[in-house]
C-alpha cells in the first residue's frame, strides 16, 4: 500500500494507473475507520483493479458549533486497517494541501439539502460537494463508494454527479450494524455506557415503522408518530427528527409508495446518532 500525503504524489500515481487502464474504486472518508468503511473498501476491492482510500477531516462540512476539532482521529490504526483490507493507495492530505488559499469558486448544493440532517447543518452539504469535487478530480475514479447510513449524502452526491456530468458511478453500500442493530459510526465512541444500551433502539424504531408499512399503513404522518412514541419510550436521547420522504429525491409525500426513506436523528449527551431505512413499496 502506498501512503501519499501530497497532491503532487497522488497525481503522479493516478496518471500511471490511468495510463495502464486500471479501473479505480474510490472510498472517500474522514478516517477513524470502522466496519462500515471496511465494507465500502471490500465492495470496491471486488469491483476494481485499484482501491484508493482518502482520509481527510474536511472542515468545510462542519458548522461553527460542530465537532471538527474533536472529531475522532487515529491515522496509525486507520493505516493498519487500510493495509489489511487491501487498499492500494491511501491518500491522507493535510488541510493546507487541500485548501491552500481562500476559495475562488463556491459550490452550493440546492436540492435534497433542506431536509433531514441538512436542515440544521447549514452549509454542510456545500462542504461535502466541494471536497468531493476536488477528490474526484484528483483520484479520477471509475466509481466512488458511500455508505447508505448517510443516505442524504448519497442522494446529494448522486445529484452532484448527475448535474455536473462527473465521469464516475456512485455506489451506495448497505449500512453495517452491530449485532444489536446499532449502525456503525465514528461518533459511537462518544456514547456513555448507558447510552450504548439504548442506541440500538434507533434501528428497532425504524423496523417498527417498516412493520407498520408492511401491515398496510400508507400515511407517512402515522409512521412518524409511531416512531416518535417508540423512541421517547425507549431512549433518553432527544429526538432531533423523524422524517419520511421519497428516495433519492427526498421530497415529502402524502401517501407512501415507490422508494421511501424513513430517517431519524437522536441527540444523546455527546453524540448525535442518525439511522435510516429505505424500502420499496
> Annotated active-site positions, please?
37
Any residues with CB less than 8 A from the CB of 34 and at least 6 apart, and which?
176, 184, 185, 186, 188
Residue 96 touches its own copies, criterion: CB under 8 A: no
**4 marked as binding residue:** no
Residue 77 touches its own copies, criterion: CB under 8 A: no
Q: Contact, 265 vs 272, CB < 8 A?
A: yes
Taking Cα atoms as reference points, which of 214, 195, 167 lies closest to residue 270? Answer: 195
Residue 146 touches its own copies, criterion: CB under 8 A: no
**33 marked as binding residue:** yes
Give the interface segment with its own copies, choosing from 61-69, 125-133, 215-223, 224-232 (CB under 8 A): 125-133
Taking CB under 8 A as the criterion, the residue among 156, 173, 202, 278 binding its own copies is 156
Q: What is the largest CA-CA distance in the chain?
A: 58
Cell of 255: 401517501
Taking CB under 8 A as the criterion, the residue among 138, 151, 170, 213 binding its own copies is 138
Residue 119 touches its own copies, criterion: CB under 8 A: no
Cell of 47: 469491483
Q: How many other C-beta atoms are found inside a 10 Å radius of the C-beta of residue 234?
A: 15
Q: Which is nearer to its own copies, 18 or 120 (CB)?
A: 18
Q: Contact, 175 vs 147, CB < 8 A?
A: yes
**77 marked as binding residue:** no
Q: Which is nearer to its own copies, 166 or 203 (CB)?
A: 166
Alpha carbon of 264 to those of 74, 155, 184, 221: distances in Å? 28, 16, 15, 14
Q: Which is nearer to its own copies, 105 or 255 (CB)?
A: 105
Helix (H, G, I), strand (E, B) or coil at 246: strand
Q: Is the peptide bond before 248 cis (omega within 30 degrees of 0)?
A: yes
In the complex, least distance from residue 101 CB atom to its own copies, rounded to whole angstroms: 8
Q: Which is nearer to its own copies, 104 or 254 (CB)?
A: 104
In the complex, least distance from residue 261 CB atom to its own copies, rounded to whole angstroms: 17
Taking CB under 8 A as the criterion, the residue among 11, 187, 218, 234 binding its own copies is 11
Residue 103 touches its own copies, criterion: CB under 8 A: yes
Phi, psi for 68 (deg, rounded to 5)? -55, -50
Residue 256 touches its own copies, criterion: CB under 8 A: no
Q: How many other C-beta atoms are found inside a 10 Å radius of the C-beta of residue 40?
A: 27
**176 marked as binding residue:** yes
Q: Which is nearer to its own copies, 120 or 137 (CB)?
A: 137
* Residues present in the chain in total: 281
178 has which bridge partners?
A: none
Cα angle at 259 between 252 and 238, to 5 degrees? 55
Residue 140 touches its own copies, criterion: CB under 8 A: yes
Residue 58 touches its own copies, criterion: CB under 8 A: no
Taking CB under 8 A as the criterion, the residue among 64, 69, 167, 216 binding its own copies is 167
**Binding region for its own copies (CB under 8 A):** 7, 11, 14, 18-19, 21, 102-112, 129-130, 133-134, 137-138, 140, 156, 159-160, 162-167
Annotated binding site: 30-37, 61, 147-150, 153, 176, 184-187
Amino acid at each position: 500500500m502506498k501512503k501519499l500525503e501530497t497532491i503532487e504524489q497522488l497525481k503522479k500515481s493516478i496518471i500511471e494507473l490511468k495510463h495502464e487502464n486500471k479501473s479505480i474504486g474510490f472510498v472517500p472518508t474522514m478516517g477513524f475507520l470502522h466496519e462500515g468503511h471496511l465494507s465500502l473498501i471490500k465492495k470496491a476491492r471486488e469491483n476494481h483493479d485499484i482501491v484508493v482510500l482518502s482520509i481527510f477531516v474536511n472542515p468545510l462540512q462542519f458548522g461553527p458549533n460542530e465537532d471538527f476539532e474533536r472529531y475522532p482521529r487515529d491515522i496509525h490504526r486507520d493505516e493498519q486497517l487500510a493495509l489489511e483490507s487491501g487498499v492500494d493507495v491511501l491518500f491522507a492530505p493535510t488541510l493546507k494541501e487541500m485548501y491552500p488559499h481562500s476559495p475562488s469558486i463556491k459550490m452550493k448544493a440546492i436540492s435534497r439539502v433542506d431536509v433531514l440532517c441538512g436542515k440544521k447543518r447549514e452549509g454542510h452539504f456545500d462542504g461535502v460537494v466541494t471536497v468531493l469535487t476536488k477528490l474526484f478530480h484528483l483520484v479520477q475514479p471509475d466509481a466512488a463508494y458511500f455508505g447508505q447510513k448517510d443516505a442524504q449524502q448519497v442522494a446529494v452526491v448522486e445529484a452532484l454527479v448527475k448535474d455536473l456530468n462527473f465521469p464516475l458511478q456512485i455506489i451506495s453500500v448497505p449500512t453495517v450494524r452491530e449485532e444489536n442493530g446499532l449502525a456503525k459510526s465514528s461518533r459511537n465512541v462518544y456514547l456513555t455506557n448507558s447510552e450504548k444500551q439504548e442506541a440500538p433502539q434507533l434501528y428497532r424504531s425504524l423496523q417498527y415503522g417498516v412493520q407498520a408499512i408492511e401491515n398496510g399503513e400508507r400515511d407517512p404522518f402515522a409512521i412518524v408518530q409511531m416512531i416518535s412514541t417508540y423512541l421517547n419510550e425507549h431512549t433518553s436521547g432527544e429526538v432531533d427528527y423523524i422524517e419520511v420522504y421519497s428516495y433519492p429525491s427526498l421530497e415529502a409525500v402524502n401517501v407512501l409508495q415507490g422508494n421511501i426513506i424513513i430517517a431519524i436523528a437522536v441527540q444523546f449527551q455527546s453524540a448525535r446518532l442518525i439511522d435510516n431505512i429505505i424500502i420499496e413499496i
